[in-house]
Amino acid sequence: MTTPRSCAAGIALVLLCVAAGRAVPEEAETVAGYSAEEALRLGTRMYREGLLPSGEPMRAMVSEDIEVDGSMFSCQSCHLRSGRGSLESTVITLPTCASWLYKPLVGREMRPESEARLPDRLNPPPFREAYTDRLVGRAIWVGKDPNDRELSWVMPRYKLSTRDMEILVYYLKHLSAEFSPGVDDTTLRFATVVAGEVNRTDRDAMVLTLQAIVRDRNSQTRHEERRAQHGPFNMEELYNPYRRYSLAVWELQGDPSTWDAQLEDHYNEAPVFALLGGITSGEWAPIHDFCERRQIPALLPITDFPKLSDTDWYTVYFSKSYFQEGETAARFLERFEAVVKDAPVVQVRRDRRAGRDAAAGFNAARSSRGLKAPTELVVEPDRPIDKEFWERLVASHPGAVLALWLEPADVGDLATLAAVEPRPPAVVLSLSLLEDQGDVLPAQVRPFAYLTYPYSLPEDVGRSRLAVESWLRAKGLPVTNFRIQTKTYFLGWMLAASVKRMRDDFYRDYFLDVMDMMRDEYYSIGAVYPRLSFGPGQRYASKGCYVVQLGDGDPPALVKRSDWVIH
Ligand code: HEC
């Protein structure tokens, strides 16, 4: 929804956040003939995608005589979105943002541990003059720093017109120029969002766990704070990053169409650096959109209905939820031997969000593999899904594989499918849509029913579960909703790791950049997901889903029928 108000706010924000407040350009300012906003937009595209204002790819030299397509060598791919660079691997990429370039580099500013790891050929001189706009341009054109040091050839030299260079330099001058909002000398401010009708147990499972994490952190930092204030001067770099956390709980009420305005009010009252967790019974989209517009990182909300996007940056989700289960089902069926080649495929669902998402994932995965679209039956709310329904379905689609995105109330008569001729070769359902209650599925259908299950299998949960439980016990929190508590516990661990790596570079984009540099994570999350993985721009951390069948026992055992990731 784009109201004139949010539009205006959007434009103001590009300036506020990219330009970070003070550097808001004068109204009349033009850059290479463009308005300041337009120049920032074009500069963003050059930096992130390697595309010139004309839309053509930038050209770059990666050695004296090898020219490459700059869209494969975007600045962001090395210097990261925040421009803070990376000292992670064997290649040290210096920062290229305003806060780094436009001041002299003195030896002390290299972090001691980074300095030690710099290979000799990249060891920066103890002193480098501040860049000016002209010198930044020269570095990008010919690879010389202000002291005439020749930059390594890892840094390409770009073939840009003077005009295009002006735009790129203007962008760099506003990139991570000042700390993001929500941080001051002592405190990193966070909020968590509780949106709509969330039951009290689930709300508390998230909020109380998060508050315990914050209390924990703050009791540990007291010592660090003292050192930060009274530490010896030359150790300043080491000690001053420590900030206490504060956590506000933003409760959103009423219709989701009013959430955006409520979020604005909370934010304007006290801006936060990032949102942590959060929970909603409905769609996360209004909060997602707010964060995207305000450029606020939102970490790992608890929601069954994430917003799916390949390009949005600010919200990191646990998974794609039902959509991912649908994708998994499609992949599983494709390789499933009992499926006769070219068997018709029929999806059945009600017109509800969860089933819709699963069906969308199923369709997307099939179409990306060049398979034909399945027949999709959307059953009216007042129409029962009973014996007669199934008989008719099989009569009109003989031999069809069925993907049934149904909830517990609709699966009671599935036994019919075991008796009809021809019996469907396979039936796929989602165990999470069945609210994890395998026992609602009639025994007769179980031999040919396959269920998507997006969590760790019970037999793999053991040790991780103990670790989380004992932490909860130590914090005086009873186990209420274990999945929510474990997810939140994991979030606390991610947060600690990311804040530590971010050190004193309090830029929101950098915060996400460092999170993107995390790898596969198993720690503490094993009780919910086998693993979570991160990577540049990846925003759905759980990449897999099992397919299981129901075995013996009460509740029925889950028998694994696929690997976690089906390629
Ligand atoms: C393939 C990786 C890579 C790409 C792509 C890349 N850079 Fe670099 N850049 C580097 C490395 C590595 C250095 C440090 C070189 C050195 O110190 O010798 C660097 C250094 C710089 C410096 C000098 C920093 C200083 O403190 O002196 C600037 C400015 C810069 N890059 C800007 C850019 C811009 C703008 C782009 C995109 C148009 C870009 N870089 C694309 C890797 C890259």
Q: Kindly report, residue by residue over 243-256, the tens digit of the pLDDT.
A: 899 999 999 999 99
In short, whether 91's Cβ falls inside 6 Å of ligand 1 is yes
177 CA from centroid of ligand 1 (Å): 17
pLDDT band at 17 (very low <50, low <70, confident <90, very high): very low
Q: Among 73-77, 118-122, 176-180, 267-271, which is the least confidently predicted range?
A: 118-122
- List, for residues 285-301, the tens digit of each pLDDT value: 999 999 999 999 999 99
Break the chain into its structural domains and give their ranges: 39-174, 187-320+460-536, 322-453+547-560
pLDDT attached to residue 54: 97
In short, whether 481's Cβ falls inside 6 Å of ligand 1 is no
pLDDT attached to residue 566: 80
pLDDT band at 335 (very low <50, low <70, confident <90, very high): confident
Mutate to test the pocket of ligand 1, among 148, 155, 166, 170 (most ligand atoms within 8 A of CB): 155
In short, whether 154's Cβ falls inside 6 Å of ligand 1 is yes
How many DSSP H helices and E strands does the chain contain? 18, 20
105 by Cβ neighbours in 10 Å (0-12 / 13-18 / 19+) ranks as: buried
79 CA from centroid of ligand 1 (Å): 7
Q: Give the residue whose CA is nearest to atom 39 of ligand 1.
A: 75
Is CATH 3.40.50.2300 the right assignment for the domain spanning 187-320+460-536?
A: yes
Taking the whole predicted model, whether its pTM rises above 0.75 is answered as yes
Q: Would you give the distance in Å from CA 366 to the centre of its chain? A: 24
Average pLDDT, the chain: 88
pLDDT attached to residue 223: 62
Cβ neighbours of 561 (radius 10 Å): 14
pLDDT band at 522 (very low <50, low <70, confident <90, very high): confident
In short, whether 139's Cβ falls inside 6 Å of ligand 1 is yes
> DSSP H helical segments within 197-270, as ranges?
200-230, 236-239, 259-269
pLDDT band at 128 (very low <50, low <70, confident <90, very high): confident
345 CA from centroid of ligand 1 (Å): 52
Third-level CATH fold of 322-453+547-560: Rossmann fold (3.40.50)
pLDDT band at 438 (very low <50, low <70, confident <90, very high): very high
Mutate to test the pocket of ligand 1, among 59, 81, 94 (most ligand atoms within 8 A of CB): 94
Q: One fold for both 187-320+460-536 and 322-453+547-560?
A: yes
pLDDT band at 221 (very low <50, low <70, confident <90, very high): low
- List, for residues 444-488, the tens digit of each pLDDT value: 999 999 999 999 999 898 888 898 999 999 999 999 999 999 999
The residue-averaged pLDDT of 535-556 equals 93
The residue-averaged pLDDT of 319-331 equals 96
CA distance 381 to 347: 16
Q: Give the residue whose CA is nearest to atom 34 of ligand 1.
A: 75
